[in-house]
Structure 1
Amino acid sequence: MRRAEPADVPAITDLIYGLAEYEKARHECTVAPAQIEAALFSPEPAVFAHVVEVAAADGPQVVGTAIWFRNFSTWDGVHGIYLEDLFVAPEHRGRGYGTALLAALAEECATKGYTRLTWSVLDWNAPSISFYESLGAVAQDEWTAYRLSGNALAELAAQAR
């Protein structure tokens, strides 16, 4: 387990598409490797990633990723981490890689004084929910996520002009 490097971009992009497929939303995923590279490795990145790399016959292979960014709690006055994606290739699950990725983010929080590690999970994803709860994570049932995108986002943006 380590921080992502530019050479990991193709594997990270493949894992993102694997997650989209798992979440039954492959048709919504349009990210290109160049976008991932720009987001993760620009001079001042706002998005970060950790990867799990395993030995393979043809060389090291990235089999899991955690893609995250900093958020901020106005109540605490302290940053936290929002985990955007956590995905381990299906054939590599059950080996502790997901736990290792989350532990790395928890360590990032601890060493930087961040007070929260937050993420979302689809309500039908029972295996992931069970995994997260086994680590001590608590569902934030009193909060409902909202999203503006597409035409609704464009229409609201037009009101600012």
Structure 2
Amino acid sequence: MRAHKAFFVWVSTLLPPEASPQGIAFAKAELHGDHDAAVTDGWLKNRQGKTLRTKWGLLTKEERAERLLAVQDDSFSLEDNSTGILDDRRDASCYPKRTGSVDMSTVVQHAAPATPPSIARPPPIDRAFSQFAKLHRELTDAAIKAALTAELTAMAMALWSAQRTMTTEILF
């Protein structure tokens, strides 16, 4: 993105309510050539630059043309862009052109068959693994049941023992 020097002259003449002091200082520094093209490009695209570009666009064509002709800028061609701001983001030559459209549609998935295919017997390794998984599950279930049974039995015995000692103390 590039701008004619007249744009920066106009920004440098604005007062702080219309432009920030940093924006005015940037425009003055740009007129002295203190910034490279990448910094200027970034500033024109950021919030302050966008606001000032919008205000520049709201000027009448006559006033903008008068300001552009009053300031000499050999690096900017007014024949290509009479507004004074060259926004190459909208320039189609900066973006690759797409080739022609697809001639044939691509079939992503074929239709499912009317009858489901027969289920093949699993290979022996799958059968062995499924048997191992079944035995592991049964053993785990048995271990959990045994642990719960032992815990509940111990709790029942503790309660029974506590009740028995209570009754013995009451009797004596």
- State the TM-score bracket (shorter-chain normalisation): under 0.3
Q: Which has the larger radius of gyration?
A: 2
- Give the number of the structure with larger relative contact order, counting CA–CA contacts within 8 Å between residues 6 or more apart: 2
The structure with the greater share of residues assigned to strand is 1
The structure with the greater share of residues assigned to helix is 2
In the superposition, the TM-score normalised over structure 2's length comes to 0.22
